[in-house]
Structure 1
Amino acid sequence: MAESRGRVVAAATDGACSGNPGPGGWAALLRYEDGSVEEFGGHDGATTNNRMELKAALELLQRLSDLPRHPDLTLRTDSKYLIDGLGSWMKGWKRKGWKTAAGKPVLNQDLWQALDQARLTDVPLTYVKGHSGDPDNDRVDQIAVAYSRGLQPSLRQPGDGPAAAAASTSKVQSKAEPASAPEEAAPAPLVGLLSRLELADRLATGGYSLSLIELAQLVEQPLRQLESRSEPWRWRDWLVEPIGTDRWRLYRSEAGSEQT
């Protein structure tokens, strides 16, 4: 089954906590070459935000260890605590017997030690600013927050179609909203689309280039489908043009129409 989905091309994690310390939740997302998405997460009744960030990364890395991975895969996270811990602090902690520079025991040592064992040398961590319009980061944040509130979000699994994915997103948001939410609030799938369109506009205006994997995340099309493209093509209100090997750039188009 995993072979039919192809390699994992994108991964994201997030943690949340109501109270810090308090009830917490964590979430992880894997995006496969065929365009399918796998989401998973969990709840902890008494924890901290940092522990949930570490727990999410640990669960995702353990899951990834058994899966084929694209060489450009990175784990996207908005936790600098996670990135700094694995990237620079851990060497000093281990040298000092899991003590900080001040001689105090390292907090969350159990999770850090498990992460040290689970880390994958071919999967670096990439920082993404939280709530910045990144679709996968926004999604795992949504799931983690739902779990922290004691809710049971509906999660996407490989094989789910677009309708099921939209329903999962809508179900999480509707459960997390207070009962007094206005009836005229936009449907969750439309809110998610708006986030992607706003991100595309910023990318086009700034002249930023995208890798093929990043482009697949933005337009939500299978990587295999995009790999077959070599000429400029139109996605909604943007012209998508190749600018080199595995790099693409978006340009605003006056006459937008989606082509797949």
Structure 2
Amino acid sequence: MGDRPVRVVAAACDGACSGNPGPGGWGALLRFEDGSRRELGGAAPATTNNRMELTGALAVLEALRDLPRHPDLVLLTDSRYLIDGLDKWMAGWKRKGWRTASGGAVLNRDLWELLDAARLPGLALRHVRGHSGDPDNDRCDAIAVAYSRGQAPALAVESQPAVTPEVGAKALVEEVAGADAGDRAPRSLQTLLSRLELADRLAAGGYSLRAMELARLLEVPTATLEGKGDPWPWRDWIVRPLGNGCWRLERGAGGLARPQ
């Protein structure tokens, strides 16, 4: 891509709460056109699911403010509350002094005002049904749930580059292996390269993977794989269902178009 800034091509957010109200968490991610991604997340000790949904969206908008964006970028969310609030209800709330149609005070006004101020021209919200197999929504949900349970999930960072396993990954792994300890790549990068090299070996060997094994390789919840009956692309590979709860990785030349 030369010197052209790497644009954000996908964005998603989600929220979770245990008890509603109760301990909560939010998760978000940005995908870049070079294949790298940035994941965000956080927790609140006493909150609601709606507040976590709004907090995740706010984090995405604030992160996008200073980043180049693809013109077709949309923010993916499974929250109708978030979408309707921004697209349908916001104007009326402000006209009525932050009162609802029934005259009551608008809940979560503090977050709605921050979201209104953080809006980005041309960035639309798109609804996706939760737990429907969308990988970005499922990943955000996994991050949010982990934080709501007091866990600290490992989050991907933008500095992890997308490289082809045949050339880039192998070369970088060899470079890391031969470097002095003080010059080694970050652990997160080493982990990514190991996953890509493993994926390539699995594809070359024609090995089948069980749901738990595939989910760990792809870093997605196992539930994401349930009900997937058709092949789908992942990085430079095609994930092909074999039946009986097993899958196989094939090199991307298998004929499926990669998402733009």
TM-score in terms of structure 2 length: 0.68
Mapped contact 1:12–1:77 kept (Cα < 8 A):
yes
C-alpha separation between the residues in 2 aligned to 1:153 and 1:99? 38
Match of 2:251 in 1: 258
| 1:82-231 equivalent positions in 2, closer than 5 A | 82-160=82-160, 164=191, 186-187=212-213, 188-189=215-216, 192=220, 195=224, 199=228, 201=230, 219-221=233-235
Match of 2:33 in 1: 33
C-alpha separation between the residues in 2 aligned to 1:108 and 1:161? 38
Q: Which amino acid aligns with 2:158?
A: P
C-alpha separation between the residues in 1 aligned to 2:38 and 2:82? 22
Deviation at 1:121, TM superposition (A): 1.9
Mapped contact 2:73–2:123 kept (Cα < 8 A):
yes
* Residues 237 and 27 (structure 1), Cα distance of their counterparts in 2 relative to 1, 3 Å cut: closer
Match of 1:22 in 2: 22
C-alpha separation between the residues in 2 aligned to 1:5 and 1:142? 30
Mapped contact 1:5–1:36 kept (Cα < 8 A):
no
Aligned to 1:219, the other structure's residue is in SS state strand
C-alpha separation between the residues in 1 aligned to 2:18 and 2:8? 31
* Residues 59 and 166 (structure 1), Cα distance of their counterparts in 2 relative to 1, 3 Å cut: farther
Q: Number of aligned residue pairs: give it.
A: 200
Deviation at 1:143, TM superposition (A): 0.3
Question: Which segments of 5 or more consecutive residues in structure 1 lack a partner in the other structure?
Answer: 169-183, 205-217, 223-233, 239-255
Question: Which segments of 5 or more consecutive residues in structure 2 lack a partner in the other structure?
Answer: 163-189, 196-209, 242-248, 254-260
Mapped contact 2:25–2:145 kept (Cα < 8 A):
yes
C-alpha separation between the residues in 2 aligned to 1:161 and 1:31? 11
Q: Spell out structure 1 runs of 4+ moving beyond 3 A.
A: 161-168, 190-200, 234-238
Deviations 1:74-97 (Å, cap 9, x if unpaired)?
A: 000000000000010111101101
> Rg larger in 1 or in 2?
2
Deviation at 1:122, TM superposition (A): 1.6
Q: Which amino acid aligns with 2:252?
A: Q
* Pairwise CA RMSD: 3.0
* Residues 193 and 59 (structure 1), Cα distance of their counterparts in 2 relative to 1, 3 Å cut: closer
* Residues 165 and 50 (structure 1), Cα distance of their counterparts in 2 relative to 1, 3 Å cut: farther
Mapped contact 2:35–2:161 kept (Cα < 8 A):
no
TM-score in terms of structure 1 length: 0.68
* Residues 98 and 122 (structure 1), Cα distance of their counterparts in 2 relative to 1, 3 Å cut: same
C-alpha separation between the residues in 2 aligned to 1:55 and 1:106? 16
* Residues 193 and 81 (structure 1), Cα distance of their counterparts in 2 relative to 1, 3 Å cut: closer
Identical-residue share of aligned pairs (%) = 56
